[in-house]
Structure 1
Amino acid sequence: MKNRWLQILLSAASLGLAVLLMVYLPQIVRVLTGKDVSWAQVGAVFAALGGGEVALMAAVWLLSLLAYTFVLTNSLPGLNNLQGLTLNAAGSAVSNLLPFGGAVGVAVSFAMTRGWGFGNRAIVVMTLVSGIWNTLFRFVLPAVGIIALLMAGKAANPTVANAGWTGAVSILVLCAIVAASLYWQRAADLLGRALDGLTRLLRLKLDASGAFHRLRADTAGIVRTRWPGLSLGMVFFLGFQWAIMAVCMQATGAWPGPAESIAVFALSRVLTSALITPSGAGIMESGVAALLIAFGVDSTPAIATALLFGFWTYTIEIPFGGLALGAWALLRRRNGRNAGAEPPSAISKAT
């Protein structure tokens, strides 16, 4: 009971903090950048949005959801795209409502996939593989943002440029090593020895290489045969999410340039990992607005863009996921009643 009440208290505090961050977003941006803006000015930007622009944002958002279903269908053979869409929507809704909501989202996904007839082993592998691919691409994004800025000549001086290239290449090399070790046994052995060396250096009492080899054994079959589909699914998912941000920037007059938009998008995805609020709500918007202003965008369209992007990648997923979860529960209940109503002979013949 103590743990339950503590969880409720932490969830309420986290949601309250997210609301406060959103309410005081103009003041936070003023502290970060020194630029003044009011909610009335932001509201005027929203009022000027056309129906075509909103429809385009909705269409790209739906495409991003569809793209991610291919990550799930490749992680769990036998899962179809409609099931993947339902699974993604329901899990995202739960994760977006609670701090550390990913664990609850996994529980919801487990219940749904069990209801569709998948076994525990396959569901665990799906969770591991999709989580690994999400993590790898989350690490790659900052490197892509840095490289985009460097190629556009946005570095302040040669020293900053060299540091940027070093950091970006290091991130990409690290991700390549992890990906290769999931595919090739020799690379896995080398990484395992490196992990053991690191734990000895840090004097940590854990079997890092053993944990990694167990993870690899669990996911090897899916990774070796389905890595192209997993990777393409993530590329298109993130590409469509960047397109949502680009449309929001164009609609609000906050377009800073192609390289800058990629950098802002990369930062937004990193800030969603700030678990102090559900999915980094409030923190992501503050960071996006501040970086846009640093790139020369006026404060009003910068805040409007951050809020619009947060709506399409966070807020709208809650009611949409709630509908998906409700539809799944309703269909499951109806199917259960129908199965119970059938005579034993009919059930036997169906089987």
Structure 2
Amino acid sequence: MKNRWLQITLSALSLALAVVLVVYLPQIVHALTGKPVSWHEIGKLFGTLSVGTIALMSALWLLSLLAYTFVLTNSLPGLNNLQALALNAAGSAVSNLLPFGGAAGVALTFGMTRGWGFANRPIVVMTLVSGIWNTLFRFILPAVGIIALLAAGKAPNPTVAKAGWVGAVSILALCAVVAAALYWDRAAALLGKGLDFLVRLLRLKFHASDALNRLRKDTAEIVKSRSIALSLAMIFFLGFQWAIMVICMHATGAYPGLAQSIAVFALSRVLTSALVTPSGAGIMESGVVVLMTGAFGVAAAPATATALLFGFWTYTIEIPFGGLALGAWALLRRRNARNADAEPPSAISKAPQ
């Protein structure tokens, strides 16, 4: 009971912190960048949004949700896209309200999928596989952002450019090693030995290779048969989200260029991992504004409006949408239970005399 109240208290404090960070974002931007901005200026920019722009953002948001359903349907064979949409929406609503919403999200996933007739093991495999693909692409994104800036010649000097290439290639190489270890036995054995050596150096009582082998055993079938489909689904999902970011930038007059928009998007997705607030709310917006104003010379008001607008489409709107999805699932489940109770017992045929 004490742990439950502690979790509730921490969750409430974290959500309150997110609200405070957003409400006082203009003051935070001024403190971090030295550039003044007010809610009045931000509101004027929001007022310039046309119906067509809002409709385009809505369409891209829906397409991003649809794209992610293929990550779930490929992780759990037999799951259809409508079920995956409800599952993703409800899980996002939970994680967007709780700072450590992962456990609650997993519990919700089990409840919904078991209600649809799936067994525990396939659900566990889906959770592992979708988590692996999300983590891999979360690592890949910063490398993509760095490469985009370097390819566009945005590095301030050759030394920074060289360091950027080394960092980007190192990140991609690490992701390639992990992906290979999930797919090939030999690569898994080599990575396991390397991880065990690192664990021994750190004097930790943990067998990394055993954990890796268990993970591979649980996910091998899905990884080997559906890795391409999973990767394409993640690419389309992130691509649609990046398109929302670009539309937000154009709508507020903050578009800094193609390479810069990719870098800003990559940073925004990385900052959602900040556990201080649910899904990094408030922290993501602050980081985006600092990058746009400090590195790319965007004015403070358009940059802040962009960050808030993008945060709405990737965070805020998912809460009521997920609530509706969860409510619809609960109502359908209750209705099906009533129908099952109302059905007369099947007639038992008499044995032949």
TM-score by length of structure 1 reads: 0.98
How far has the Cα of 1:201 moved from its partner?
A: 1.2
Task: Report the RMSD for the aligned CA atoms in angstroms.
Answer: 1.1
SS of 2:26's equivalent in the other structure is helix
Equivalent residue number for residue 305 of structure 1: 306
Q: Which runs of 5+ in 2 are unaligned?
A: none
* Deviation of 1:345 (Å): 1.2
Question: How far apart, CA to CA, are the structure 1 residues paired with 2:329 and 2:55?
Answer: 27
Residue 148 of structure 1: aligned partner: 148
- Structure 1: any 5+ residue segments left out of the alignment? none
How far apart, in 2, do the equivalents of 1:125 and 1:246 lie?
35
For residue 344 of structure 1, give the secondary structure of its aligned residue in structure 2: coil
Cα distance, 1:297–1:346 mapped onto 2, change above 3 Å: farther
- 2:237 is the counterpart of 1:237: yes
Cα distance in 1, alignment partners of residues 89 and 69 from structure 2: 10
Question: For residue 79 of structure 1, what is the aligned residue in structure 2?
Answer: 79
- 1:319 maps to 320
Q: Secondary structure at the match of 2:106?
A: helix
Q: Distance in 2 between matches of 1:289 and 1:57?
A: 20
Question: Can you list the C-alpha shifts for 1:194-246, whole angstroms capped at 9, x where unaligned?
Answer: 11111111111101110011001000000000001100000000000000000
Residue pairs, 1:1-351, within 5 angstroms: 1-294=1-294, 295-345=296-346
User: How far, CA to CA, are the matches of 2:244 and 2:347 in structure 1?
Assistant: 50
CA–CA distance in 1 between the matches of 2:260 and 2:34?
21
Separation in 2, partners of 1:343, 1:306: 57
Tell me by how many angstroms 1:289 deviates: 1.0
**Take 2:343 and 2:39, find their aligned partners in 1: how far apart are those partners?**
59
Distance of 1:182 and 1:346 partners within structure 2: 52
1:54-110 per-residue CA deviation (whole Å, 9 max, x = no partner) reads 110000000000000000000000000000100000000000000111211111111
Name the CA distance, whole Å, in 1 between partners of 2:348 and 2:298.
Answer: 65
Q: CA deviation at 1:126?
A: 0.1
1:347 Cα deviation from its structure 2 partner = 11
SS of the residue corresponding to residue 346 of structure 2 reads: helix
Aligned residue identity for 2:299:
D
1:166-204 deviation digits (Å, cap 9, x = unpaired): 000000000000001100000000100011111111111
Whichever residue aligns with residue 87 of structure 1, its letter is L
Counterpart residue type for residue 62 of structure 1: L
Letter in 1 for 2:175: C
In 2: Cα distance, 1:230 partner to 1:27 partner? 41
Deviation digits for residues 23-77 of structure 1, max 9, x if unmatched? Answer: 1101111111110000000000001111110110000000000000000000000
Give the CA deviation at 1:296: 1.0
Distance in 2 (alpha carbons) for counterparts of 1:64 and 1:208: 35
The letter for the 1-side match of 2:317 is I
* Counterpart-to-counterpart distance in 1, 2:64 and 2:133: 16
Question: In 2, distance between residues paired with 1:10 and 1:90?
Answer: 21
Measured in 2, the distance between the counterparts of 1:168 and 1:309 equals: 25
**Partner Cα distance (1:17, 1:290) in 2:** 19
* Secondary structure of the corresponding residue to residue 204 of structure 2: coil
Distance, in Å, in 1 between the alignment partners of 2:327 and 2:99 is 22
Aligned mates of 2:242, 2:91 — CA distance in 1: 21
TM superposition shift of 1:346: 7.5
What is the Cα deviation at residue 144 of structure 1?
0.2
Matched AA of 2:322: G
SS at match of 1:21: helix
C-alpha distance in structure 2 between counterparts of 1:172 and 1:108, whole Å: 33
Q: Percent identity?
A: 78
Distance 1:254 1:313 in 2: 18
